[in-house]
Structure 1
């Protein structure tokens, strides 16, 4: 009971984010209590995505999931697990029975946000956001993306043995997003600190440390909220080429409030910041591990767009997200009861041997068009084109200027259960 009260207190810190956010602790407790008898028909598993060692190196666990069966259940976490590509794609499509309306993390919550709605409400909210991600908008940001990519690759070339995560993978998307949101250079340090804190909400664990981290994340989110609302209040973003400026331009009926614009900015941070950092850092680790594939790419740079897709499949910067069933959900011979928490394992699905030949190998000539690195269906990630543009800009710089990528020390990997990427990777780039 004491732990439950502490949980309520920490999660209550999220309430100031807006009255639209509603946490469903009672539903979470019901799921956990019922979960112990709900696993029949599935394969009972000890696989735990919250285990730090598993989160850092999950691939043995994925291979075991693929060997053992189609539907798994972890009684300790009261969580069902889908790991086959066909099942993950089907679940992402079936928003009538298994959806995002109770959240996409282990914390149950509801809000009028794109990522937390389905059906007509989701379509309406997505249309409000779409003007920021049209081809015209993306093309207008290409120059800043290429400029930042060139500058940061210059920095890594000039500092052999430097940590490419801190020197390139972190600042690249952060500077791009700061530019797209209209954050001035003098505010970027604060913006980075608040942004990195805010996205940690996705990694909640029901432990004293996890509860403390949620409270810290809530405080960072509130600081970010105050800052962005202040920026909007000054009025200088209206008419600008920023994301928020474009949305204000299309907001002719006044339906987008400043609070909603803030949520859109946070969505962009989550969708386009750490995920892109993970993709960029993982790119360097992959080419250091597969130098023959980098040589093949340099010989045929036209493969770059397809290679980005293979990197997304191979790395899966978003390893998993949660859904909750709002009706009994059938997968093969197994019925997942209504009200259940379901982990959709993007990382495992993208390594599914029934979908990809030799899935644990990286190949620049593979065309993995069915991967789910950015989701699938109605919830396909809005920030996906931006992440692809950034990765392509960096890769074109490398292919034209660097003939070899070598690790100068071991790679350290994050232990975030959902967002996986290198946290430290010293590299040396051998220039042409």
Structure 2
């Protein structure tokens, strides 16, 4: 059944503070509120990931969607929602009709970035980035990752009670990324502030506060850009064993400009910083509540790689990303019109009861390889191997030295609409 075409009635253009293409928030501005009666074929829903309470605890909403129709539509947000695993995977594969080239957030962005392109352009950009993520590159950073994991777990044990977010889950990926980007220890405080603020652009809301926060994110991204362009101009990264150093070594034809190298650094920040923080925090929180699963891994550490995949499925550090339809897109009996905003709910898909038995339960020995926690298809996350390495290193340290993980107070969860994890996690590690 074909439904009416969704179009936005007004547009607003930002002049971006960074040279990252055109930022278009037309999709976020509407001149009229759409009524439920105008949308047939899909299930009209009040589910709203921009609601902070829902973003912090979305699983009841996911269960409700799974009990109802295959395609949902939120009239208030002018957003179509896909939540079944097979449908999300199919949409991620079909880049001809469901595109990333207009952005992967509620803000429409056009830029020459691997995450914001499809087809031949995407393949070209992905090939340019590939030298930074080869097995050799990852292996060269393994010692840094293992050493940091040991140091930070040491600190947590010694503290005899701490906020795991402050002591481990935030500094671990930040320091790893700083090291592999060539950021010295003396610059890490600024790097962390710019990084935290710039990644918040993914959480845009069409409010005055939302526009203020987006401006702050752009300013932080501009500061990061100035920082990395200076590092590149000074020649400090040439011949270094860093991401940008490796890319410079493979850039003999000059195909990668300094701006493109900066975009790669930003992509790594977004893909590998807060997402890995969320994965590590969700992992600690889960083992505190599933001690028998933790004991299973302590008894059989060979389960660690599989358990990390289950953590990615169960906690879904990236809860959702957006796409825009280039053409009418059929899902079952519902046609999503061309020009529509589509939210791909990774968090819901990873708890799809049609795909996973008892999906709301964590099982360390489950084989959840079909999950979409790192995306799927052409846009499978380039940084996934790095995130896996960090999580596995931390879990190895924990199971070899810690008998029990106990939560000592309430956990606070982020209210970011797309990135979910603990923002405060008081724990004690028992030797």
Question: Offset of 1:410 from its aligned partner?
Answer: 1.0
Give, in whole Å, the separation in 2 of the partners of 1:48 and 1:175: 34
CA contact (8 A) 1:92 1:377 kept: yes
With structure 1 as the length reference, what TM-score do the two structures score?
Answer: 0.95
Structure 2's unaligned 5+ residue stretches are: 1-9
CA distance in 2, matches of 1:27, 1:44: 19
User: Are the counterparts in 2 of residues 31 and 339 from structure 1 also a CA contact under 8 Å?
Assistant: no
Q: Does 1:71 align with 2:90?
A: no
Return the offset for 1:424: 0.3
Question: SS of the counterpart of 1:255?
Answer: coil
- The answer to whether the Cα contact below 8 Å between 1:85 and 1:350 also exists between their aligned partners in 2 is yes
Matches within 5 A, 1:55-94: 55-94=55-94
Q: 1:337 and 1:82 mapped to 2: Cα distance?
A: 14
Point out where structure 1 has 5 or more consecutive residues left out of the alignment: none
Q: How does 1:316-395 map to 2 (within 5 A)?
A: 316-395=316-395
1:283 corresponds in structure 2 to 283
Q: 1:169 to 1:285 in 2, by over 3 A?
A: same
Cα-Cα RMSD? 1.6
Contact residue 164 and residue 281 of structure 2 kept, 8 A: yes
Aligned residue for 1:158? 158
Q: Deviations over 1:125-155 (max 9, x none)?
A: 0000000000000000000000000000000
Looking at structure 1, the residues matched to 387 and 370 of structure 2 have their Cα atoms a distance apart, in angstroms, of 18
| Pairing of 1:260-279 with structure 2 (within 5 A) | 260-279=260-279
Using the alignment, how far apart are the partners of 1:184 and 1:29 within structure 2?
Answer: 41
Look up the SS of the partner of 1:423 in the other structure: strand
Q: Is the 8 A contact 2:153 2:397 kept in 1?
A: yes
User: Aligned residue for 2:104?
Assistant: 104
Q: Deviations over 1:153-196 (max 9, x none)?
A: 00000012200001000000000000000001100000000000
Judging changes above 3 Å, is the alpha-carbon distance between structure 1 residues 299 and 32 closer, same or farther for their aligned structure 2 residues? farther
Work out the number of aligned pairs and report it: 422
* Inter-partner Cα distance in structure 1 for 2:323 and 2:84: 16
**1:30-49 maps to which residues of 2 (within 5 A)?**
39-49=39-49
CA contact (8 A) 1:32 1:77 kept: no
| Residue aligning to 2:247 | 247
After superposition, the Cα gap between the structure-2 partners of 1:52 and 1:34, relative to the gap in structure 1 and judged at 3 Å, is closer
1:134 corresponds to which residue?
134
Paired position in structure 1 for 2:229: 229
Q: Quick one: structure 1 residues 201 and 25, their matched pair in 2 at CA, closer, same or farther if it must change by over 3 Å? A: closer
1:246–1:360: structure 2 CA closer, same or farther, 3 Å change rule? same
- Structure 1 residue matching 2:306: 3-state secondary structure: helix
**What residue in structure 2 maps to residue 308 of structure 1?**
308
The 1-side partners of 2:300 and 2:125 are apart by: 41
Contact 1:156 1:168 in 2 (8 A): yes
Structure 1 residue ranges (4+ consecutive) displaced by more than 6 angstroms after TM superposition: 30-38
Higher helix proportion: 1
Inter-partner Cα distance in structure 2 for 1:210 and 1:287: 35
Residue 24 (structure 1) shift? 3.2
Per-residue CA deviations over 1:309-346 (Å, capped at 9, x if unaligned) read 00000000000000000000000000000000000000
Does the 8 Å contact 1:102/1:323 carry over to 2?
Answer: yes
CA contact (8 A) 1:38 1:337 kept: no
Residues 31 and 341, structure 1, Cα contact 8 Å, conserved in 2 = no
Q: Please report how far the alpha carbon of residue 379 of structure 1 lies from its aligned counterpart in structure 2 after TM superposition.
A: 0.3
Q: Hey, what's the Cα distance between the residues in 2 that align with 1:123 and 1:32?
A: 39
Deviation (angstroms), 1:32: 7.9
* Cα displacement (A) at 1:68: 1.0
- Counterpart CA distance in 2 for 1:173 and 1:407 is 22
Aligned residue for 1:73, secondary structure, equals strand
Contact conserved, 1:410 with 1:426, CA < 8 A, in 2? yes
Q: C-alpha distance in 1, partners of 2:35/2:18?
A: 31
Distance 1:395 1:220, change over 3 A: same
Quick one: structure 1 residues 120 and 32, their matched pair in 2 at CA, closer, same or farther if it must change by over 3 Å?
farther
- Give the C-alpha shift of residue 33 in structure 1: 7.6
Report what 1:17 is aligned to. 18
**TM superposition shift of 1:236:** 1.6
Shift of 1:17: 1.4
> What are the superposed Cα offsets for residues 1-51 of structure 1, whole Å, 9 maximum, x if unpaired?
xxx89x64xx32xx2311x51123446658988897763200000000100
Please say if 1:173 is aligned against 2:173. Answer: yes
For residues 397 and 25 of structure 1, the distance between their equivalents in structure 2, rounded to whole angstroms, comes to: 45
Name the structure 1 match of 2:404: 404
Deviation per residue, 1:39-90 (Å, 9 max, x gap): 3200000000100000000000000000011000000000000000000000
Deviation (angstroms), 1:298:
0.5
Alpha-carbon distance in 2 for matches of 1:44, 1:16:
37
**Residue 118 of structure 2 is aligned to residue 118 of structure 1:** yes
Q: Aligned with 2:265: secondary structure?
A: helix
